[in-house]
Every structure is written in C-alpha cells, then in structure tokens.
Structure 1
Amino acid sequence: MRKFTFLMLMAGMMMFVACHTGTKPEYPNEPKPETFRGEIDGKPVELYTLTNQNGIRVLLTNYGARIVSIYTPDKEGNWADITLGFSTAGEYPGEGLNLGCTVGRYANRIKGGQFELDGEIYQLALNDGPNTLHGGVKGFDNHVWEAEQEGNSVTFTYHSPHMEEGYPGNMDVWVTYTLTDEDELKIDYQATTDQATIVNLTNHAYFNLGGEGTGTILDHEMQIMADYITPVDSTLIPTGEFMPVEGTPFDFREPHPIGERIDQDHPQLNYGLGYDHNFVLNREGEGLELAVRVTDPETGRVLELHTTEPGVQFYCGNFMNGRHTGKAGKPYGYREGFCIEPQHFPDSPNQPDFPSTVLRPGDTYTQTSVFRFGIAE
C-alpha cells in the first residue's frame, strides 16, 4: 500500500515546503471578501478565511454554511485550490450542484418524499423526479446562516421552522468548521428539535486533488473502507438490501483509479451513470474512524476522510456538463470533481433495517467528520 505522510506541524516539514516554493504559500484565484460578499434573500453573505501555521487555507461562506476553497501544496510545493466553487456569492443560488454546502434537513434521497413517524405520514417537497433530494426545493444549502468566527474556527447556526419543506419540528442546527495545525478540517454538527423529526446532515464538497479546473478525477486512486453498498433502483432509492462489493466495480477496499471500472456494464453503474452510491463503512465503534483515502499520483496530494457516520456517498460528478465556470475561469466538465459525503443511509426513514435518523425532543444530533490533507511519500 502506498506510504502516506501528513503535512505535520513541524519546522522540518515547513522548510520542505518552503524549499520547493521558494516563497511563502500562494493562493491562486483566491476569492476575496470584498468581491465575494453580497446579499441573498435580503441577508448579507460573507466570506471567512482560516489559515493554519503550515499555510493550509480554507475559505467558507454563510450561504449554505459551505466550503468555498481549500488550498494545499503538492509534492513539489505548488499550491492549488482542491475544491470546486465560485468566486462570488451571487453565483451560488440555483447552481444545482450543491457545491461545498451543508446539506439538510435530510441529505440524500427519500422515496416519494414521504415517511411515517409516530403514526403520522409526512409529505415532503419533491425535487428529484418522484423523490426528495438533499432536503427539498429549498434545503439548508439555500439559506443564509448566522456565523461567528473565533480564531481558526467558524460556527454557522440556522433555525429551521416547523414544517419547512414538510419536515416536522422546529430544529436548531450548528455546524462548526475548525482548521487545525495538523492539517485537518474538522466539521462538527449538532441539532436539536422540539418535536420528533428526522435529520441527516453532511457536506457536499467536490474535490479535485489536481486543483479545481484541471480536468477529470478519473486517475485519482480511491480507497473506501466498505465491504457493502446499499444498492439502488432506477430512481436511486435503496432497495433495502446490502450488496457485497467483492467481485464488482464497487470494490475499493484496495486503492485503484476511479476511472478503472466506472464505465463497466453493471446495473448499479447504469442507474447512477457511474458512482453515486452509499457505501456501508466497516466500523468498529462510534468514534472517528478512517472511511476514505484518495491519492492523486500526479501531484502527490492525499485526502483522508475520518467520520463518526455509518456510511459515505461516493459521487463522481456524473451530471456535470460544463455549464458552471469555476474560480479559475474554466468550465467544470464531466467528472471533474468527486464527493465523499459522510452520512446516514438514504431513505432510512422508510428502511427498518437501516440505522435510525429520528431525532426527538431532549436529544441532540451529533456528527463529526474530518478531512485530513497530506502528501504521498
């Protein structure tokens, strides 16, 4: 297996980066607060900057509590933005890709936009054919959140009123991003409700370890710690089964290029036009565990995802079509970004064998996910 080293907060490592760049870290095509900010739904939208002592930089916005940019160096010390996004706030509403956002109240799909809870049947807004996707027509990604920055941490808060998009209960949500000097972006989620409801939060960042706008991610080497996926029907709703990945194009237990099997003639790949599936993580407990490791052989960049969640949605930009222009001024084309979305399983409210997503008054929903950035040796 490829050896891996993190960009640790060590003077020696800092000297290594400096020797290759010859200068301090650079942030090409970096969105600027004065040109990014704007007003959406009558509320101010701002840009927040986190920078650690190694030069790693993360840009966030309160529109959708989302990631705008993440800057890391490659093996030669060249810096690039490895996430897809836009240069101004005004480009995000209606973009349709959910770039970098917090997804809620329920991430992923719910069959027919309907679920039963405590004897009541709730009908949600339909926005994905016959189903509900990522919270509905105006999910958490399409709202301006409150924000408070303290050092290298920003906490976004949002109040979701009772029956917003059809979900019961007044829900308060907190999402905290923290950039550490160990080159980790930690995302902590919390939510409370005054009435029984369902909740499934995630982040929908698109990554390209070659740098945004540099082409496809098909040569990236992907490893997912999962023996099973939850197979889907033609509308991408789970069937309720657990499908072993062994002997299928979904076997990423050992790292191999994303594009190696993505176009094989497999029913599940045909449904999603490629990878767009929930992987059931091999978990040993309830704490943070390694879920995904991705390496770009060309740049040497490595991304790890550690999470407390039971699943991760692996999506490869199968519906990207060049309609959106990114921060580098280049259109985002087919399969030019991948998402690894830690989550509870899609359609869990209608699947008794899936982990529960019910939240009740007096309880607190919590989830933690960590993106760790490094360079392959």
Structure 2
Amino acid sequence: MEKPALRRFRKAVFGQTADGKTAHLFTLTNAHGMVVKVSDFGGIITSIRVPDRNNQPGDVVLGFDSLSRYLSGQPYLGALLGRYGSFIGNGRFSIDGKDYPLATNAGTNHLHGGRSGFDKKLWQAEEVRSGKKEAVLRLTYTSADGEEGFPGRLDCRVTYTLTDQNELRIDYEARTDQKTHVNLTHHNYFDLSAGKNPTILSHEIWINADHYVVMDPKMVPTGELREVKNTPLDFTKATAIGSRIDQLPGAYDHNYQLNRSPGHAIQLAATAYEPGSGRYLAVFTTEPGLELATANWLNGTLRGKENRIYAKQSGFLLYPQHLPDSPNQPTFPSTLLKPGEVYHQTTIYQFSVKSARVNR
C-alpha cells in the first residue's frame, strides 16, 4: 500500500484582528517531520517543531496558540520586524538634509518599527509552488509613505522556505519610491530544550564576532565598536549562556558586528547547542550584525503554548540585522535604500542534532 502524499502546506483560520479581518495560520512541513507555523498577521512564527537526538519532536520557539494572545500585548514573540528592527536613537534621522521624526515607542527612541510596525500588520499571503519539494510561503505588504514617520512607499516581500535539510530560510525584499531606511528581521525566542528546562542558561552559544556595539544608558549606540576579548560578551568559543551572565548588570542584550569574509554573501553567524536534547541550531545570514538577548524582560506574567509560563530567561534571541541606529551612525554599514535598488536580506535557521558538546 502506497504511503499518502506528504502535505507540505496547510492553511487555517487563526483569528480575527482588532478591525475584524481574518488572519490565517500556515503550516509548513518537510519530509523529516520538521513543522513551522507562520501567520499572515505580523509574519509571526508561532511554532518550530524539530526532533531531538532521540527523534522526539519538540517546539523550540516561544509563542501562543491563538491570535488573541498576540493582540493582547507581548514583547514581539516570533514577530517580523520593520521597517527598522532595533533602535533608532532619539526617533529621527536625516536624508539629504531633511529631518524625519519617527514614532517613538521606547522612551525617546524608535524601536522595531514604531507603535504599529510590520509585526502588527495583516500581510497578503500565498503558497509558492516550485519544482523543488519544499514548502514555501510568501507574504507581501505595502507600507505607505509616512507610515510611522518613514519616507517613501515601501513594497515588501518576505518568503519562508522549509527545506528537507531542516532549514528554515527567510528571504526579505523591499523596493521604495523615495530614499528611506530599511532593516528587516525576525524576533524569534528560542529554547532548544523545548520547555524541558526552566531557563536557557545551559545552552552553549558561539558567535562569529570579535566586536560588539557599545550603547549609552538610553540604548543609543555611541558609535564605538569594542572588542569582546576578555569580556563576558566573548562567544568566539562555544560557551554556556549562564557561565558568565552574572558578570553583566543587565544580562545579555547586545548587538555584535559579525566577522565577514569577502566574496561570500551568506555566512555562518552563530550556533546554539542544548546538551540535554542534543538540538543544534546554526544561523546563516547576509547581514553585518547579530543581536543576542536572553529575554531578561520576561517576568512570568505571560502564559504561552501548552500552558507554559514564560519567566525570565526562558528563551534567547539570535537575530541577524544591520547595526542599531545605523541611519545616524556614519561609520556603520548603511541601511539607506534608494529608488531603483532592491533591499535583500537572507537568514537561514538550520536545525540538527549532536551527540556531544560542540567546540568551535
């Protein structure tokens, strides 16, 4: 008897937005049992299920089972961030001598797209069929000129591809009709133990970076890139998150400038390994920076999937992006997009299992 054909792509109603529109949840599946769920509301990745070393599946990202929980206020769990992920200092930048004040939603700063960023928009969704045996979801959204203070109409396309190599590839594209700044990324909270451990402190992290971005007390970059050597921020060798976290006044919430080799568009940026499950995550990106954060702001008031309480440091973030406040930092790689150009960013989350500690 023949096995039934694998359903790689499914669509279901996820809930109603505040203005009564219907949001959907798309389930992507590959031949090895990896499952990724993405909503057209905010491009949110609600779930990633991958096997451990005993081939037992587990959900390795924090999130909720219903749209209503995402709408009720939460710290960007699994969200697609834009137009600008991370901080823009003092909520403003200038282009060709013209000043653009932005929506401020983090003190005096602009954060993750403002008060109503891309994570709060309902995107147009479609399944993309190709000759490859892959599940592909494409989301599109047009950001109007002046939205959250940004100049120019911005046409965005984000494509999620689940491969049979247990890779989730996210391709971001954008085009504008005026000069503007763009920095798109995803804000996934990982826990490779799939909830077996109360915190992520035992995860071993490696980051391909010799320098990090120095921030002032208002979370605005000073413009300095400081060496990680001989500091708790040094992950150039795989190190448990919890081994030095007490040496930092606010735990980890830092942006790194990645080491990049000329001639290679997409490169390995970071890895994470969870000893108990054997799950191993490799992050590849085209971007110049990477944020490491240990969800220090979670305080046990959020209850997520399978009724799990999300307490402090119950997830970690490794998301590639341009450096924070790049529009106001002339020495940082530019985020300026001009008419006729195409913004493109690719990030790959590759999952596997290892039998023992990985040393780099």
Quote how far apart the aligned CAs of 1:38 are. Answer: 2.9
Q: Which moved more, 1:211-220 or 1:357-366?
A: 211-220
**Correspondences of 1:146-157 after superposition (within 5 Å):** 146-150=124-128, 152-157=135-140
Per the alignment, in what secondary structure is the counterpart of residue 263 of structure 1? helix
**Correspondences of 1:116-155 after superposition (within 5 Å):** 116-150=94-128, 152-155=135-138
Separation (CA, whole Å) in 2 of partners of 1:215 and 1:46: 31
Separation (CA, whole Å) in 2 of partners of 1:129 and 1:38: 30
Among 326, 329, 338, the residue aligned to 1:360: 338
**Structure with higher strand content:** 2
Per the alignment, in what secondary structure is the counterpart of residue 37 of structure 1? strand
Q: Structure 1 counterpart of 2:296, which letter?
A: N
1:304-329, Cα deviation, whole Å (9 max, x unpaired): 10000000011110100111111110
Q: Judging changes above 3 Å, is the alpha-carbon distance between structure 1 residues 213 and 142 closer, same or farther for their aligned structure 2 residues?
A: farther
Among 180, 187, 201, the residue aligned to 1:204: 187
Separation (CA, whole Å) in 1 of partners of 2:42 and 2:67: 10
Separation (CA, whole Å) in 2 of partners of 1:41 and 1:181: 38
Separation (CA, whole Å) in 2 of partners of 1:40 and 1:254: 46
Separation (CA, whole Å) in 2 of partners of 1:196 and 1:204: 26
Among 247, 254, 278, the residue aligned to 2:255: 278
Quote how far apart the aligned CAs of 1:41 are. Answer: 2.6
Q: Structure 2 counterpart of 1:174, which letter?
A: R
1:36-86, Cα deviation, whole Å (9 max, x unpaired): 333343321000011000110000001101111000111112111001110
**Correspondences of 1:129-278 after superposition (within 5 Å):** 129-150=107-128, 152-212=135-195, 214-264=197-247, 269-270=248-249, 273-278=250-255
Q: TM-score, normalised by structure 1?
A: 0.88
Q: Which moved more, 1:149-158 or 1:350-359?
A: 149-158
Among 341, 349, 352, the residue aligned to 2:327: 349
* Identity between Structure 1 and Structure 2 (%): 46
Structure 2 unmatched runs, 5+: 1-10, 130-134, 356-360
Q: Judging changes above 3 Å, is the alpha-carbon distance between structure 1 residues 39 and 136 closer, same or farther for their aligned structure 2 residues?
A: closer
CA contact (8 A) 1:62 1:144 kept: yes
Aligned residues: 340
Quote how far apart the aligned CAs of 1:341 are. Answer: 1.1
Separation (CA, whole Å) in 2 of partners of 1:159 and 1:352: 28
Q: Structure 1 counterpart of 2:202, which letter?
A: D
Q: Structure 2 counterpart of 1:255, which letter?
A: A
Q: Structure 2 counterpart of 1:321, which letter?
A: N
